[in-house]
Amino acid sequence: MTQINFTRPATTVVLAMSADGKISDVTRSPLPLGSKIDKSHLEQQVFLADGVLFGAGTLRAGGTAMRIIAPQLIQQRKQLGKPPQPVQILCSRSGEINPQLPFFQQPVPRWLLTTRHGSCKWEQRPEFEKILVFENPPSKSKSDNPSVDFTAALQHLATLGLKRVAVLGGGELIASLLAANLIDEFWLTVCPLILGGDKAPTPVDGAGFLIQQAPRLELVEVKQVEHELFLHYRLQR
């Protein structure tokens, strides 16, 4: 268990990937890669979290958030003095999300993490309980729009009582969090299939890291269940 940094929530990336390191196929299919065992593992990680953070592309692909279903886990959260479901935090710089997605009908608390531009589409609307606006200034290139300031955003989440956040993708979001040194742990499920494709998403997309600057991991735990491997890594600081 990662020691909690009280200036921001502890963050754990939880993903299933193919044996060749893809988190979906080239069509970004919403079909899950993992087995029922992997889904149970994912639900357990969501159970431990105060918030679940995911990107707009992940939501568009699946249409719904990963919420807790098992009655015993919901009961355990209540016994711990927690709400039945962790807050679902959608990250979208543009705010371009279809309000007809099933996500907006799920019985979960919903927050939006966005920029000033992205917030305009959702102000005075009921879909999100909170709209969190944190943005970096635009770069010198006029074509670049402001991006989300994740450091400030996570620090603010800590002030709202979130001590642990599960990050469920996608690759661009995780790349941004890694670049800002805001990831503490990875739980990667390696699934027994090969997807291939140079356009298929990976756990960490974005511009990538040179070898000299690449984040280093410490292997904490390995579990094999049937043909799946569950790898638990901690970021080396």
**Lowest-pLDDT range of 10-19, 22-31, 156-165, 212-221:** 22-31
The mean per-residue pLDDT over the stretch 156-166 comes to 97
User: Phi/psi zone of residue 99: left (φ > 0), alpha (ψ -120 to 50 degrees), beta?
Assistant: alpha
**8 close to 155: Cβ distance less than 8 angstroms:** yes
3: phi then psi, degrees, rounded to nearest 5: -65, 130
CA torsion angle 58 15 52 107 (round to 10): 70
pTM exceeds 0.85, yes or no: yes
pLDDT at 5 over 80: no
pLDDT at 4 over 50: no
Coil, helix or strand for 21? coil
Coil, helix or strand for 232? strand
* Residues with Cβ within 8 Å of residue 39, at least 6 apart in sequence: 32
